Structure 1
Amino acid sequence: MQSFRRLSKSKLGTGILILFLLLILASFALADISNLSQGGSLPQTTLARVGKVELTANELDTAMQRRLAVLRQQNPQATYADLAPEFDAIVDSLIQERTLWAYAQKHGFVVSKKLVDAEIVKLPGVRGLDGRFSEAAYQTFLQQERITDAQLRREIETSLLQRLVIAPVAANVRIAQGLARPYADILLEQRSGSLGLIPFAAFANGPAPTAAEILTFYRQNLARYTVPERRSFRMARITPEQLGPVAATDAEIAKYYQDNQATYGGVERRVLSRATLPDQAAVAAIAARAKAGGNFAAAAAPAGFSASDVSVGPQTRAQLVATAGEAVAAQVFSAPSGAVIGPVQSSTGFDVIKVESIQTASGRSLADARAEIATKLTDEKRKNALADLVGKIEDSLADGRTFEEVATANKLPVLVTPALTRAGAAFDQPDFKLPADFAAVPGASFDIGADDDPIVEPLPNEAGFVLVDVAEVVPAAPAPLARVQAQVATDFAAKRAQDQANAAATRILAAVQGGKPLAAAVAEAGIAGIRPPEAVELRRGALAQFAQQGQEVPPPLRILFSLAPGKAQRAAGPSGIYLVQLDRVVPGNAATNPQLIAGEVTSLQRSAGAELALQWLSAAQRELKVTRNDDAIQAARNRILGGGGSTE
C-alpha cells in the first residue's frame, strides 16, 4: 500500500494526476476478495465481468503501458518484466474500478458531462495564454500524456464516483485511545546491543585472477555482461521552424487588447461618499446640505450617519452597478469630481452620492502594449499551427505513408542514430551523444517494433515534437570477453572478497552462538582492518523516520528489532557484512505520552477508513457477482510479461 501511495505522488510529468485513481484503488488490491467467482464462460478477450461492465485485454494493456511509463520516469531501462510483482494488483485494481462503475450504473449514480468538463478545465496545461480553456492546448496535453479524450473522461468520471461513493464510507472513523495505547507502547520500546561490520575491503588484496578464473567467472555470469537490446532510430524533429512565418495580425492584436481591458487599458475608479434611506425627503435634505458646500459627512450627520457610514472609497463602475444599480452608476460615472447626485432611486432605497475624486484609468495604450500582445498571440498561433502540423503528420501515417515520405513532404530534418540502449547509450560508439531534447526519446519509444508505424513523441520544455521510426533491432547478447575482460577481473576480485567476508561472518556468528559476546568473537577472528563492534541503543519509533522520508529501514536496524535478547544475526550491506547482537529489550510505556497515543489514534483511523472502503468494495462485488476469466488473465500475463515486453 505504501509503495502505491508513493507512486501516486509521482509525476507522469505532471501527468501523475491521470494515474491518481488507478493507484489509489490499487491500494485495495492487496486484500483477497474471496467472493470472485472463477469462470471460463467469458470470451477470451474479456478478463473479468462485474455486473454488466467488462474488463478487456486491451484495457489491461493500456493500464500496463501507462504504469510502465511511470516506472520509466524513475528507471529509463525498465521493462514489462519489472512489473511482474505488480501484475495481480493491477488486475485486481482494474476489476475494483469496474465494480465502482457497475455499482453506479445499477443504482443510478450519474456523473454529468458538465461535471467532467469542470474537472478538465482545472488540469494543468489545458489553458491558453488568456488563462481560459484552449482546445489546442488540450489536444497537446492529451498527446503529451498519451491518453485519449474518452480515456481521460472515463478516469475523471471514476475519480468523481470514488469521491462521491467510496470516500464517505471511509470518512469519520473513530478509534478509542485504549485500542491505540498498545501500538504507542511498541513505539517506545528500547533495544540495545552491538553492531559490527566486516568490510569487503579487508579481503581485497588477494592475488590477481588467472585467465582461467576470468573465463570461468565470465561464463558463470553471462547475464551480468549481457548488453541489453538496442535499437537504432530515425528521428525527425517537428518544430515551429517548419511552419514558416507565423505572426499575429493587427486585427487580432486590437481585438485581444479590447477583450483584456482590465489587464491593459486599466479601469477608472471614483472615490465616493454615499447615504441611503428609504425616505426620499430625508435624502433630499442631505443632498441640499451637501450641495450647499462643506463636508458630506457633516451634511449626513443630522440623519444619524457617521463619517465611516458614508465613506465608500474607490469604486469601479461594475462595483457600483452591483450595489446601486445601472441607473445610479450611469449618473455617478458621468458627473465631474465634487458633484453631488441625488436624491436618486437605487436598488436599496433613495441615494445621495458625492464624487469626492476621480482616479483615472492608469493602463497602457494599445501602442504601448502592442509588442507584448503580438508576442503572446504569435506564440499561441505557432502552438496551434504546430498542433495542426502534428495532426497532419499523424493522419499521413494513418493513411499508410512511410517515414521517408512524411519527412520529405514536410521538410523535416532527419537524424539516424547508432544502436542505442533504452537509456540512449551507444555501446559500439561510446562518444555518441543524442541532442539534449532527444534524451528521453529512446526510452519512450523502445517498445515500437521494426515493422510498426512511426510514432510522434512530444519533446520536453515545449520544444516541439519528434517523429520516431525504428530502423534496426539488435537483440540482447553477451558482450565479447575481450571487450569486458577488465571489468570481469574486477568483478571476480570483488566476489572473492565478498565470499571471504561471508565465511568470516559465519565463523564469528558461530562463536557468538557458543556464548561469546560479539566484540570478543570479532577480536578473536584476527582479521586486519575490522573495527571493534559499536554499542547501539534505539527506540522502535525511530524507525518510522525512515518511512516518513520514503527510505528503507537499514538492514542492521531491522534485524536489531527482530532478534531475541542474546541472539545475533548477519545482514548484507553495500560495503560489507553487518553483524548485529541484541543484548537487552526495555518495553515501552506511553502512559505519560498522550501526544504519541493521539498520533497512533490518527494512524489507526486512516487504516480503518481504508479497511471500511475495502469492505464496501467486497460487499459491492458480492451484490454484483464478479466473474474472472483466469485462463484469459494468465494468457495476458504470459503475453505482456513473458513476451519480451511487447503488448502486440
Structure 2
Amino acid sequence: MISSFRDFTKSIVFKILMVALILSFAVFGMKDVFTAATSNDVIVAGSRKTAAADYKRSFDNYKADMEQRGGQPITYELAVKEGLHVRILEELADLDSVSAWLYKIGVRPSAKVVSDQIGKYSAFFDSVTGKFDKTKYQQTLAQQNLTETKFEQIIADDIANRQFVESAVAGLKPPRIYAAMQSAFRVESRDASFLVLTPDGVEQPGDPSDADLTKFYNDNKEKLRRPELRQFVLASFAPGDFAAKVVVDEAELKKLYEFRRDTLSTPETRAFVQITVPDQKEAQNVITGLNSGADPALLAKAHKGTLLTFENKPKTAVPDRKVADAAFALKEGETSGVIQGDLGLAVVRVSRITAGSVPGYEAVRPTLEVDYKTDKAKDLAYKASEAFEKERAAGADFVATAQKLGVKVIELPPMTAQGQMINGQSFAQFPQILKTAFEQPKGGETEVTELGNGEYYAIRVNDIIPSEVPTLDKVKPQLIQAWKAKTVMDRVVAKGDEAVARLRKGESLEAVAAAMKAKVEAKPGLQRQSAQQAVGPEIAGRVFSAKAGEVFQSRPAEAVVVVGKVTAIHNGDAAIVNQAAVMTAQGLTYGLFEDISTGTRKGARATLKTKTYPQTAVKALGLDPKEVAKAAEADQANAGKAAQ
C-alpha cells in the first residue's frame, strides 16, 4: 500500500487528478481572496493567501479520495512521511498563483456570469418547484462551512481558469510534419556488426619493474590516500536495552486502562432520518406522517423538505449539533418533535440503536502491557542518562560509569567521517553520531545527546588517525595487481583503436577480426525501442547516433571494448509510419499543452513571488514539525539497525 501510494503521488496522473479534485471539491472550501493575512498562512501568492484551515480542508478532501480508491486509511503521519503534504501544497500554490495572476491582469468573470454558473448546480434547487432555492443554497454552503463570498470567489476562479485555458489551447495542433518525422524516427531499424575485444585477447603482462611500479605509485598517490579515521567508544541509552528491567505494576496498568477507556471504546451509533422543513405547519405534517409509517422520501417531497439519511453514525458525525442532541435522546422507533436546528427546522425518526461497547480489561491487557513496558523502558533510559551525566560531572570515568549503570558500551573500530570502518563494515546509518564524533578532539567526550524515539547516546573519541598516503612497501602487492590490470586494459583499448583505424581505411570487419583473433557479432534489424535489451544502452546509443557505414568504439563494461559499424539503415514502412503519426500527433498535442500549462504556472509564481510554508502546513494537519523531523531521524536510525 505504502509503495503504491508513494509511486502514484509522483506520477503525472497525480498532477492531473490534483487539479480536477481540487476544483471538484470546491464546495468543501478553499479560501477567500478578501480574507486578511494571518500568521497561519501556508501559501501567499501576491495578495491572495491560503490559511492553514483552508489548506487542511483541501488536503482532507484529497486524502479521503485516496483512501476510498485504495481501500485503506492513510494517517497524517504517513502522508507527511511520504511528502504528500508538500506535493499538495505546491499544487495549490500553482493554482493560487494562476488565479491571482489572472485576476491581476483583468481576466475576471462578471457577477452575472458567476451567478448564472451557480444557478446550474442542481443541489441548490427545490425538489418540488424545480427552481433555485436561496435558502437551500445558504444551508448547503453553511453545512460545508462556506460563506457565499467564498463560494462565489471559487466559482469565479474556476471560470477564469477555464476561459484562459480554452483560449490558450484553442486550435492547438502541431504541424503534421512533426508527427511524421517523429514516427519515422521511431520505426526506423538498423543493422550493425560488432567486434568484441576483452583481456583474453591480449598478451598478459609480467610483474612491473621497480621503476614502472614507482611511477605508477607516484601517479596514483592521491587515489591511495587514506582519509582521516577516528576511533571512539559509544555509550548507548536505548529503551530496548532496559526493557528486561521493567516490572509490570498491575495497579498502574489498570490505571492506564481507565485513562484510555474512552479511546478504546466503540461509541453508540444510530440509524435515523432527518427531514428539514420550511415551517412549523409542514413540520407537524411530517411528524404525523412518520408516526403513521409513511415513506420519509415521499414525505420530504410532499412537504417541501429535504431528506438526510444517517446509517449507523455516532453523535459526532451529525453536522447539526442540536439535531444530534435530539436524535440521541430518542428511543428506537420514536419520532422527535419540531427541532430548531442550527440550519433550520427539522424532524427526526430513529429506526435503530446500536449500543456502544467498552472492551474489558483482560481483552486489551496485552496491548496495554506493551505500551506500558515501552514507556517505562524509555523512562529508565532517560534516568540512566541523567545518572550518567551526574556521575561524570563529579569526575567519574566515562566507560566505568556506563558499565556501573548497566548502559551498553560499544567500542567501535576506526572509521571515516562517512562511517566506513577499517573492518569493511559501515556505520553510515548513524550520521548524527558520526557528525558528533568528528567534531570532537582526541580524548573529547560529549554530553548525553538525544537520538530520537527515547534513545540517547554519548561518545568519547579515543584516537584520531590523520589522513595519509601509505608508503609503497605497504601497498606493493595490491599496487602490482592494479598495475597489471591497467596494463591489460590499456592493451585492449589500444587494440580497439587499431581496429577502428583499420576499418576506417577500408578493411572489412571480418578481416580485422580474423587478424586479431576476435569474433564478429551481427545484429540485424535493431529497433530503437528494443535495442537496449538486445545490445545494452551504451552500444544502442552509439548505433542510433551513427550514420550508415560509420565506425564507432564503445566501452560498455570496465574490461570490454566494442568496435562497431552501422551496416544499413532501414526506413519504416510508409503505412506503419502514417499509422504511428496519427497516434503520435495526440501525444505531441498533449506535450504542447503541458508545456503551456507548466510555463503559465511557473510564470505566475515568479511574477507574484509566491511563497509556501511547509512547516505551517504540517501544523495545519495537527502535527508538530519537530516531532515529524525526529520521527524521520528515528526511521533512518532503525533502518540502519535493521541493515546490521
- Short-chain TM bin: 0.5 to 0.7
Distance 2:437 2:234 in 1: 13
Match runs of 1:210-249 below 5 Å: 213-240=212-239, 241=241
- Deviation per CA, 1:46-91, whole angstroms, max 9, x where unpaired? xxxxxxxxxxxxxxxxxxxxxxxxxxxxxxxxxxxxxxxxxxxxxx
Report what 1:504 is aligned to: 495
TM, length-normalised to structure 2: 0.55
Does residue 1:490 correspond to 2:478, yes or no?
Answer: no
Does residue 1:256 correspond to 2:260, yes or no?
Answer: yes
1:563 shift after superposition: 1.9
Match runs of 1:444-459 below 5 Å: 448=439, 450=441, 454=446
- Kept after mapping to 2: 8 A contact 1:233/1:417: yes
- Deviation per CA, 1:144-174, whole angstroms, max 9, x where unpaired? x9xxxxxxx9999999867744899899685
AA at the equivalent of 2:220: N
AA at the equivalent of 1:526: M
| Matched length | 466
1:570 shift after superposition: 0.9
Structure 1 unaligned residues grouped into runs of 5+ = 1-8, 11-15, 17-102, 123-130, 146-152, 291-295, 547-551, 622-648
Distance 1:607 1:197 in 2: 43
Report what 1:268 is aligned to: 268
- Kept after mapping to 1: 8 A contact 2:549/2:565: yes
SS where residue 555 of structure 1 aligns?
A: helix
- Kept after mapping to 2: 8 A contact 1:421/1:442: no
Distance 1:273 1:606 in 2: 48
- Kept after mapping to 1: 8 A contact 2:274/2:348: yes
1:276 shift after superposition: 8.1
Does residue 1:591 correspond to 2:574, yes or no?
Answer: no
- Kept after mapping to 2: 8 A contact 1:180/1:601: no
AA at the equivalent of 1:267: P
Report what 1:202 is aligned to: 201
Distance 1:608 1:321 in 2: 42
TM, length-normalised to structure 1: 0.54
- Deviation per CA, 1:283-334, whole angstroms, max 9, x where unpaired? 565466x5xxxxx4699999999xxx999754544556849814532442xx
SS where residue 325 of structure 1 aligns?
A: helix
SS where residue 488 of structure 2 aligns?
A: helix
Report what 2:516 is aligned to: 526
Does residue 1:580 correspond to 2:568, yes or no?
Answer: no
1:387 shift after superposition: 8.2
RMSD: 5.9
Distance 1:343 1:238 in 2: 64
Distance 2:296 2:604 in 1: 69
- Kept after mapping to 2: 8 A contact 1:556/1:579: no
1:571 shift after superposition: 1.6
Q: 1:474 aligns with which of 465, 469, 474?
A: 465
1:568 shift after superposition: 0.6
Distance 1:566 1:352 in 2: 86
AA at the equivalent of 1:266: T
- Deviation per CA, 1:84-115, whole angstroms, max 9, x where unpaired? xxxxxxxxxxxxxxxxxxx979x556676778
Match runs of 1:21-40 below 5 Å: none
AA at the equivalent of 1:554: P
The 1:581–1:374 alpha-carbon spacing in structure 2 relative to 1, beyond 3 Å, is same
SS where residue 177 of structure 1 aligns?
A: coil
Match runs of 1:97-116 below 5 Å: none
The 1:327–1:482 alpha-carbon spacing in structure 2 relative to 1, beyond 3 Å, is closer
- Kept after mapping to 1: 8 A contact 2:493/2:561: yes
SS where residue 545 of structure 2 aligns?
A: coil
Report what 1:293 is aligned to: none
SS where residue 227 of structure 1 aligns?
A: coil
Distance 2:283 2:58 in 1: 50
1:513 shift after superposition: 0.6
Does residue 1:515 correspond to 2:506, yes or no?
Answer: yes
Does residue 1:186 correspond to 2:173, yes or no?
Answer: no
Report what 1:364 is aligned to: 359
1:198 shift after superposition: 0.6
- Kept after mapping to 2: 8 A contact 1:192/1:536: yes
The 1:620–1:510 alpha-carbon spacing in structure 2 relative to 1, beyond 3 Å, is farther
Match runs of 1:34-183 below 5 Å: 164-165=96-97, 176-178=173-175, 180-181=178-179, 182-183=181-182
- Kept after mapping to 2: 8 A contact 1:511/1:521: yes
- Kept after mapping to 2: 8 A contact 1:267/1:361: yes
- Deviation per CA, 1:24-56, whole angstroms, max 9, x where unpaired? xxxxxxxxxxxxxxxxxxxxxxxxxxxxxxxxx
The 1:596–1:246 alpha-carbon spacing in structure 2 relative to 1, beyond 3 Å, is farther
AA at the equivalent of 2:500: L
The 1:162–1:365 alpha-carbon spacing in structure 2 relative to 1, beyond 3 Å, is same
Report what 2:416 is aligned to: 421
- Kept after mapping to 2: 8 A contact 1:198/1:577: yes
- Kept after mapping to 2: 8 A contact 1:403/1:469: no
Percent identical residues: 14
Report what 2:323 is aligned to: 325
AA at the equivalent of 2:412: T
Distance 2:298 2:97 in 1: 59
AA at the equivalent of 1:360: A
Distance 1:560 1:503 in 2: 21
1:120 shift after superposition: 12
Match runs of 1:311-350 below 5 Å: 314-318=312-316, 322=320, 325-326=323-324, 328-332=326-330, 335=331, 339-341=333-335, 345=339, 347=341
Report what 2:152 is aligned to: none
